[in-house]
A and B are shown apart, each in its own frame.
Chain A
Amino acid sequence: MKFFTCWQGKRRRQNRKFAAFSSFVHKEFLHIFRDMWTTLILLLLPVLMTVLFGFGITTEIKNGKVAVLDPSKDVATQGIVDKLATSEYFTIAYRVNTEQEIDDLFKQSKIGMAIVFNEKFYENMLHTGQAQILLLADATDPNTASMLNTYAGMLIASYQMELSKNLGTTPLQITPELRLLYNPTMKGSYSTAPGVLGLVLILICAMMTSVAIVKEKQMGTMEVLLVSPLRPITIILAKTIPYFVLSLVNLTSILLLSYFLLEVPFVGSFLLLIAVCLLYIFVALAFGILISTLVNSQLVAMLISGMVLMLPVIMLSGLLFPVNNMPLVLQWFSCVVPARWFITAIKSVMIKGAGFDAIIKEFLILLGMAVVLLGVSIKKFKNRLE
């Protein structure tokens, strides 16, 4: 009996604690809806960005990673590969033996292009006077794909000229055949949806969460909340939930827009896609919480999340400029930007239909970031004012 009343009392206490928590969440939603303009911007911004970024932006490519499948291994194939390797545009990153390997490399986004030679390439060329090369390009990033293709075509043509001159025989004909993978119509919008997701989710989760928490500090309400039975972790959790919901709304709107308006194909697993997005939202929320524990004014919170999170996302995530095109130092730096990993993973899943094994590296990196960020912010979070 005593045990029962004790248990009942405990349950009542827990119910009350949950009531406190849910009323806190309710309050957060009120804050958001009372501020009509901000809400409107937050809901419309992703839509606008998706549409605007739908127009690709041309950029020059350097150092495209290439895989070579060369069963022939003769003078001509070696000559063409050397030609590519010495140009500033290409790096021969892999030599493979099967087409399956190429497929895997593409899915893991390790290469931007693959060159496939026929068997007995040189022999055939000398006999028939012509030869074919298959160029495979990853067109999820259509700018890079078309650029790589053009350069490769030029290099092959120049090798063909040299060869004809040296041999002094009838003109030889090497025809590169291009196959665009994943995005055969070369739509710029294919890279838009992942990029905008990367940007918007950071904006809403990190920036808005940090600003909302810091606002309580600045308005003095944090003082009252701290002098209450609420634990700081409850406060934080309750404040992040509305933005979590808001980002789910945005996630839906971006995906719908991408699918119906920009006609981006969804070939991969939908569940995996959502899982990656949730993980990324988690990272962004953790970032927001961390910022809020470090600063005391809304303006600073805004600037930090803007400068430290948004800008690198735009610059380094490959949304506007391909990552391979950047100076090495910046490429290293881009490794700490969560959006870079998120975008790569999303592209793989959404457009290439890659499975979990293909994005395991990105997934683990994002998971690691989430754990570290949350750990640090929980450690930093104060029970008191100073």
Chain B
Amino acid sequence: MMTIKATELTKTFGNFTAVDHITFAVQKGEIFGFLGANGAGKTTAMRMLCGLSKPTSGEATVAGFDVRTQSEQIKKNIGYMSQKFALYENLKVWENIRLYAGIYGIKGKEIGKRIDMILEQLGFEKEKNTLVKELPLGWKQKLAFSVSIIHEPQIVFLDEPTGGVDPVTRRQFWELIYQAADRGITAFVTTHYMDEAEYCNRVSIMVDGRIDALDTPKNLKYQYNANTMDEVFHMLARKAKTAKS
């Protein structure tokens, strides 16, 4: 089953084509890496998929809903987390969880259970009453991820979730993504860590608004005769016609 399906999806701003006829599909439970240089069009594409911006042309369905007409339903069925916006720093850990549970319409009794479940899963029982701003960055990001999937969405969009996180926590974070994927939640991830690209089931690389490569990391490395995804990325990104603007 396909949870995301984009066909010739395009977005233009004036003369500038940010996203240029991209076509791809993501399966349920897949971890899909969405890579590209700064300004290659990742953010614009992701906004369209989240129902935040309307495509100029082309079609896309997310969780079975049309991004053009059913953005409200889409928002109910996806989770979103980015490095920039995640949690409320001045709320305690459990208050943040309760807040998001409330936002996603989880009912009274169930909220308490979810809070305990998440705290246990992350090993945060002791930090229940800690203000989020006092947590180390890596912990915040793990909590933000758990909160973003509190309503068991079909898909979770992760926009550079691990930037600046220490190596150990970064890996624990990916273990959380794996657990979610095992439960059938599709993860749509952007990252600048190329080793993380290897953790994805499949990876797409955007260059100048187009998807220039899409396959498993293994196949991509084979195809480009490279040892690491880093090399693959550099080979593709160098082809960019604009000077990385």
- A–B: direct contact at CB < 8 Å: no
Interface residues of A, Cβ cutoff 8 Å to B: none
